[in-house]
Amino acid sequence: MKKLGFLILILSIFLTSCNNEVTKNNHSDKKAKNVILFIGDGMGVTHIYSAMTVSETPLNIESFKYTGLQKTYSASDYITDSGAAGTALATGKKTKNGLIGCDSLGNHFKSILKYAEEDGLSTGLVSTSSILHATPAAFIANNISRYNYQEIALDFLKTDIDIFIGGGKKNFEDREDGLNLIDSLKSKDYQVATAIEDINLVDFQKFAVFTAEKHNPEYRNGRGDMLPKATEKAIEMVSQNKNGFFMMVEGSQIDWGGHDNDIDYIITELLDFDRAIGKALEFAEKDGETLVIVTADHETGGLTLVGGNINNKTIEVNFSTDYHTADMVPVFAYGPGAEEFTGIYENTDVFHKMMQALGLE
């Protein structure tokens, strides 16, 4: 009896220490191994429905089973800008318009990309604008102005982001401080290229792909399939990591179509963005451990469908502003943890839900 008691004591110590191990290292509450976040800049519900109406085939966005709505207001304004909204999605904290990853005193907020990196996950950013523009910058930089592009470029060197694809080369090499950050990237073992086709996965390393000096061209002006291809390539690279990955893909120019009150610009950008989402869903379906989130930072243009014909696939639209609006924006989720994204919540909750899914919070 004494022996049995001793055995039970030993066994329970063993089990307790095992349990601790599980919580500490393997994230017992972890739902997803990978997260791919898609941000359609300026993409409201009406932008999506407009594209759905004119498209010959159903959009990939339509296949998501879990949907929600998020409130986009910033710490300073009912109507947010992409800096504050990007910061909310990336760091879980609301800030003032114009700021990137910090408060107005310059106190830094830590992004999900950095939490993921610290936990041994691979990380990636893909954008159809400059990679230094507000939305991608919110995931990697901390700056009291979203327009300090040269300082934001320096922040890329302070991380070990595994792959980034987008425009913005000029601010890495043609700089007021005389530094050549392309050389700095190379000395940090980055493979630097100007075309997605030029990078090779020989053994897993880091990639910086500059597809434009500043922003990439509009889709209708010859961007081609840069965004779907970049998304596919980035997934191929970061999915080599057995610990998992976090990646953000931005359809930047849906917003610019909204600012221009140009429905053709909006729809061509949105359909291209949707094809990129298709690439991620293809991977996630096979992989089974990947959470795919599609959302926006805010609505742009105050877009309204005032007429149209569902059979003829025609639409008639009105814009009420050439800036952003305060509208709630949709959230679409697929994969492990997707059910957490239903309902109405703050933009900052998108961060917390993704962190929870990865077992980082």
DSSP for residue 216: P
CA distance 316 to 341: 31
CB 150 within 8 A of CB 175: yes
- Contact, 137 vs 95, CB < 8 A? no
- Number of residues near Mg ion (by CB under 5 A): 4
252 binds, among Zn ion, Mg ion, none (CB under 5 to 8 A by kind): Mg ion
Residue 82 lies near Mg ion (rule: CB under 5 A) = yes
Establish whether 82 is a catalytic residue: yes
- Cα torsion 156, 169, 214, 255: sign: negative
Question: Of the residues 12, 28, 63, 82, which is catalytic?
Answer: 82
Single-letter residue type at 216: N
Q: How far is CA 124 from CA 70, 112, 140, 162, in A?
A: 24, 11, 10, 6
Closest to Mg ion by CB, 82 vs 348, is: 82
Say which residue the tokens 């304004």 belong to.
Answer: 77
Task: Report the residue from 31, 33, 34, 41 that binds Mg ion according to the rule CB under 5 A.
Answer: 41
Number of H helices, E strands in the chain: 12, 14
Task: Show the binding pattern over residues 83-122: x = contacts Mg ion (CB under 5 A), - = does not.
Answer: ----------------------------------------
Binding to Zn ion by residue 255, rule CB under 5 A? Answer: yes
Sole window of 67-75, 133-141, 155-163, 187-195 interacting with Mg ion (rule: CB under 5 A): 133-141
How many chain residues are in contact with Zn ion, going by CB under 5 A?
1
> For residues 275-294, which are near Mg ion according to CB under 5 A?
none
Tell me which of Zn ion, Mg ion, none is bound by residue 122, counting a contact when its beta carbon lies within the kind-specific cut-off of 5 to 8 angstroms.
none
Q: Looking at 81-89, 137-145, 216-224, 303-311, which segment touches Mg ion (CB under 5 A)?
A: 81-89
Collapsing DSSP to helix, strand or coil, 126 comes out as strand
Helices (H), 128-180: 134-137, 149-157, 170-173
Nearest distance in Å: CB 121, Mg ion: 23
Residues that bind Mg ion (CB under 5 A): 41, 82, 135, 252
Which sequence positions are flagged as catalytic?
Answer: 82
Residues that bind Zn ion (CB under 5 A): 255
